[in-house]
Structure 1
Amino acid sequence: MYQKERLSKLMTIISKKKIVDIKELEQLAFVSRSTLRRDLIQLEKEKKLIRHFGQVELVRDTNIEFGYNIRLRENEDAKKAMAEIAGDFIGSSQALFIDSSSTCIHLAPYLQNQNNLIVITNGIHLAAVLTEHPNIETFICGGHVKSLSGSILGGEAVGYLNNFHADITFLSCTGVDEHGVYMASEEQTFIKRKMIELSEHVVLLCDTSKVNKKDYFRMCGHENIDTLITNAPLPEEIQRVLEAKDVEVLY
């Protein structure tokens, strides 16, 4: 196998697991230890991973995000199913915070038939869709637009949210476990925390691929979430923790 093919295979494995033991990676990739070491050195030079003692970790720098169109296609059926459930929470004459995630943009069809709806978002893709619907008054945060993601972030964006109070916040995350809810980006975390703070009810959309996953930033605890919408039953230990925190779980 050529090195280019090996590197692609390694990145597929590491991207799914985020952190992988070297011994496990050697078995999964079917390569010798010396070949694997050379390939990992190359991937580290390309800033795609970090080598630790006995492990490799996927680089998830807050300045690097997969393109929005790529994320939009990931687990698309699950995102649409969750959005359909979330649509039951949406009614006319509401004010809604909606984050810039590729999950929450699937709420758009359930917004379009409501009257006197106010939507406040930091997502340029959602805002662009909603401009076609005069029955929705759309507000978008000021700040800098993050490359590839279509998210407006920064202190100005967080401060802009202070002008509003919402009935419901809809948001997504990169991970949930028994200890809380996680994000990969510090800036995204600040935006979502502010939305949570300024709303009456918080709905988290999180498909099961993100369950039992941690990330760099703990966005909030379970007590800050009112409803968690997912696409399949949760592991028992997480379900018990959520029930103890009075979090409604729907799927």
Structure 2
Amino acid sequence: MDIREKEILTILAKKKFMRTTELAEHLHCSISSVRRALITLEQQKVVIRVRGGVMLTKESNIEFSHTYREGTNPDKKKQMVTLVKDFIGPNMCLFLDSSSTIQQVIDVIITVPNLVVITNSLKTALFLSESNNESLKVFITGGEIKLNTTSVLPSAQDPVYESFRFDLALFSCRGIDSDGVYEASFSQANLKKEMMKRAKQNILLVDDSKFDSTHFFKISNYHDYDAIITNQAPEPHYQELFETKKVELLYP
């Protein structure tokens, strides 16, 4: 997937539907270039072309591949991770979701002694297991591996659910609006709900591209989080909302 195709998917994740002419204007390229990119994306069954425009399949409720998510907004993700350091200390038990955003926290975790980390991400578990931090203990949730996402979807018999209580759980999401936090996958949403119940402190990392973006599956309300970390100051109405919900807002 080339850069232009990734940019189109990022735009559609927020706008739901865009006219071909609008995409060309937004991307500063010709309409024919946009059409070629859309044909490729349609062949991959990621978008549907309709008269005059394009939309994501399943009304934008796609859980993008991990490879795609890793390549989106890397600088924004790194900005947010610098603010997570203050929440992580020795002898803690952490849950990390399978998002590419939370994967960026690995560089922080491997420097902290005596951590226990539970994750539903194959990639995160692998990276942590390859670290030189011998005091680190890593567990992965059991269940079905969702192809192309490196996520493990939960099983009802998974002992991790009952075996651990977390000092801190770190999450990202597909989008947020004034009503709450959303995910693209029903299974991912349910997993996050369960893990939030088992954590003393829950933190949401969400960059500015995910504001004002809704999806089918609501994970939570804002009062379920102790802090929200983003890469820049959000719009004033979000700042007021978070303050009303007594959620700490952090940004660089």
TM-score band by shorter chain is: 0.7 to 0.9
Q: Secondary structure at the match of 1:223?
A: helix
Counterpart of 1:71?
Answer: 69
- Structure 1: runs of 5 or more not aligned: 1-7
Amino acid at match of 2:64: E
Structure 1 residue 231, shift from structure 2 partner: 0.5
Counterpart of 1:240?
Answer: 240
Which string of whole-angstrom CA distances, capped at 9 and with x for unpartnered residues, describes residues 175-229 of structure 1?
1111100111111111111111110110101111111111221111111111000
Structure 1 residue 84, shift from structure 2 partner: 1.2
Distance 1:53 1:79 in 2: 36
Q: Secondary structure at the match of 1:113?
A: coil
Distance 1:76 1:157 in 2: 35
* Contact 2:122-2:150 at 8 Å conserved across structures: yes
* Contact 2:47-2:55 at 8 Å conserved across structures: yes
TM-score, normalized by length of structure 2? 0.82
Q: Which moved more, 1:53-62 or 1:81-90?
A: 53-62
- What is the total number of aligned residue pairs between the two structures? 241
- Structure 2: runs of 5 or more not aligned: none
Counterpart of 2:112?
Answer: 114
* Contact 1:122-1:157 at 8 Å conserved across structures: no
Counterpart of 1:163?
Answer: 163
Higher radius of gyration, 1 or 2: 1
Counterpart of 1:193?
Answer: 193
Compute the RMSD of aligned alpha carbons.
3.1
Counterpart of 1:149?
Answer: 149
Change (3 A) 1:27 1:229: closer
For residue 100 of structure 1, the aligned residue among 80, 98, 105 is 98
Change (3 A) 1:193 1:23: same
* Contact 1:176-1:213 at 8 Å conserved across structures: yes
Change (3 A) 1:17 1:65: closer
Counterpart of 1:184?
Answer: 184
Distance 2:51 2:145 in 1: 37
Amino acid at match of 1:80: K
For residue 87 of structure 1, the aligned residue among 85, 106, 121 is 85
Structure 1 residue 85, shift from structure 2 partner: 0.6
TM-score, normalized by length of structure 1? 0.82
Structure 1 residue 73, shift from structure 2 partner: 2.3
Counterpart of 1:230?
Answer: 230
Which string of whole-angstrom CA distances, capped at 9 and with x for unpartnered residues, describes residues 130-186 of structure 1?
113321111111111111111111334866322211011001001111110011111
Counterpart of 2:11?
Answer: 16
Structure 1 residue 23, shift from structure 2 partner: 8.3
* Contact 1:167-1:201 at 8 Å conserved across structures: yes
Change (3 A) 1:47 1:83: same
Distance 2:9 2:122 in 1: 30
Amino acid at match of 2:57: V
Change (3 A) 1:43 1:65: closer
Counterpart of 2:57?
Answer: 59
Distance 1:171 1:122 in 2: 11
